């Protein structure tokens, strides 16, 4: 797949019709014998086909790999960018030790000789950043990942006319969904200065004009003590990218602001806790779970691991409920301060 994407083979095959190996090799500037080896292996997975001897044609799968198709970026991310991480995972473990929780002691750091955490690694290369961005957008646009599931994942009316803070909420997509579901709630989105600036810019904001009176933004580092009081603090796929050591610190940073009856709401993945079914769904999430290890030295958590993590952050937070809306790949876990 790396060969096919790297040398842009799909772009040189006609969308309708066929092309012989020699001509295709000439267009792509590759060796015809190696081209044939690679494509005939790909054909065993229904990527391209050979309608007659020594001629290549597209299949539905290979058409997905053409330039500007999101699948091309996804494949390149996995084969160009992630492959070195996989190759050096053992080296990273042997250098920094088994079970390191540090975000700068990962397979990424070893493979690319990079000192910082993953979120700094991505923008360090514009080509890589683009590939990763397209990949993440593709995942987020899947129906199971829709922010609309936030609305049914929790009974927001329980909070009355209170305040919800979306911690690490980017430019407000989740806050907008909550505001639309609960007209009495006030929403505050906290994030880094550059993100907040983008969120407040009319050209890039996610907040429609009619909600700007109820959805506001403020700069906050979630590792620092929380200074803004709220009825609930909402995290969606924010704690996912941190090992237990640092995720517990993020939760613990809420402690100065927490009062009895306040809630911590976490919308994130819950990993199956054995025995493990051999389904396509389970294979996909186990594969992403391993990617979390490569990127961040962390993992998807089971329900019990989420409970233990929250308790480690602030022992006053008691598990209340977990509900997965129909069609959603993530539940909302509710913890209440007692």
CATH number of the domain residue 280 falls in: 3.40.50.150
Contact between 199 and 176 under an 8 Å Cβ cutoff? The reply is no
- The mean pLDDT value of the chain amounts to 95
pLDDT attached to residue 100: 97
Structure tokens at 278: 């051999």
Last residue within a domain, chosen from 23, 40, 63? 63
Q: What is the pLDDT of residues 28-65, one digit of tens each?
A: 999 999 999 999 999 999 999 999 999 999 999 999 99
pLDDT attached to residue 25: 98
pLDDT at 112 over 90: yes
Beta strands in 168-220, from DSSP E residues, in sequence order: 186-191, 215-219
User: 0.85 cut: is pTM over it?
Assistant: yes
The span from the CA of 105 to the CA of 124, in Å, is: 17
pLDDT at 149 over 90: yes
pLDDT at 140 over 90: no
The angle subtended at Cα 123 by Cα 265 and Cα 142, nearest 5°, is: 50
Last residue within a domain, chosen from 87, 120, 140? 140
pLDDT attached to residue 139: 80
Task: Specify whether 160 is located in the same domain as 105.
Answer: no
Contact between 265 and 69 under an 8 Å Cβ cutoff? The reply is no
Last residue within a domain, chosen from 110, 140, 170? 140
Contact between 199 and 191 under an 8 Å Cβ cutoff? The reply is yes
Query: Residue 98: which pLDDT band, with cuts at 50, 70 and 90?
Result: very high
pLDDT at 180 over 90: yes
Percent of the chain with pLDDT over 90: 93
pLDDT attached to residue 141: 82
Structure tokens at 74: 């996804």
For residue 207, give its domain range: 144-337
| Four-CA torsion 164, 168, 170, 171, nearest 10 degrees | 30
């Amino acid at each position: 797949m790396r060969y096919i994407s790297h040398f842009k083979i799909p772009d040189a095959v006609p969308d309708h019709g066929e092309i012989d190996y020699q001509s295709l090799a000439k267009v792509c500037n590759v060796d015809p014998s190696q081209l044939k080896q690679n494509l005939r292996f790909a054909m065993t997975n229904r990527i391209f086909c050979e309608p007659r001897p020594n001629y290549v044609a597209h299949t539905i799968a290979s058409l997905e790999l053409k330039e500007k198709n999101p699948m091309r970026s996804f494949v390149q991310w996995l084969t160009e960018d992630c492959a070195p991480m996989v190759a050096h995972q053992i080296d990273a473990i042997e250098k920094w030790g088994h079970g390191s929780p540090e975000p700068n002691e990962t397979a990424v750091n070893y493979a690319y000789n990079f000192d910082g955490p993953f979120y700094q690694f991505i923008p360090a290369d514009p080509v890589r950043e683009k590939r990763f961005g397209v990949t993440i957008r593709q995942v987020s646009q899947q129906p199971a990942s829709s922010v609309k599931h936030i609305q049914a994942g929790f009974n927001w009316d329980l909070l009355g006319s209170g305040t919800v803070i979306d911690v690490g909420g980017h430019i407000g997509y989740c806050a907008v969904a909550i505001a639309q579901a609960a007209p009495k709630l006030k929403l505050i989105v906290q994030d880094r200065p550059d993100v907040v600036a983008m969120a407040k810019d009319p050209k890039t904001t996610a907040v429609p004009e009619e909600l700007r009176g109820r959805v506001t933004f403020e700069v906050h580092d979630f590792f620092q003590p929380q200074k803004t009081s709220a009825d609930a603090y909402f995290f969606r796929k924010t704690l996912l990218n941190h090992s237990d050591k640092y995720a517990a610190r993020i939760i613990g940073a809420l402690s100065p602001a927490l009062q009895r009856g306040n809630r911590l709401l976490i919308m994130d993945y819950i990993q199956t806790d054995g025995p493990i079914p051999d389904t396509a769904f389970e294979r996909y999430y186990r594969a992403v779970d391993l990617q979390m290890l490569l990127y961040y030295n962390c993992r998807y958590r089971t329900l019990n691991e989420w409970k233990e993590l929250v308790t480690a952050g602030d022992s006053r937070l008691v598990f209340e409920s977990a509900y997965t809306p129909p069609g959603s790949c993530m539940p909302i876990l509710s913890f209440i301060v007692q």
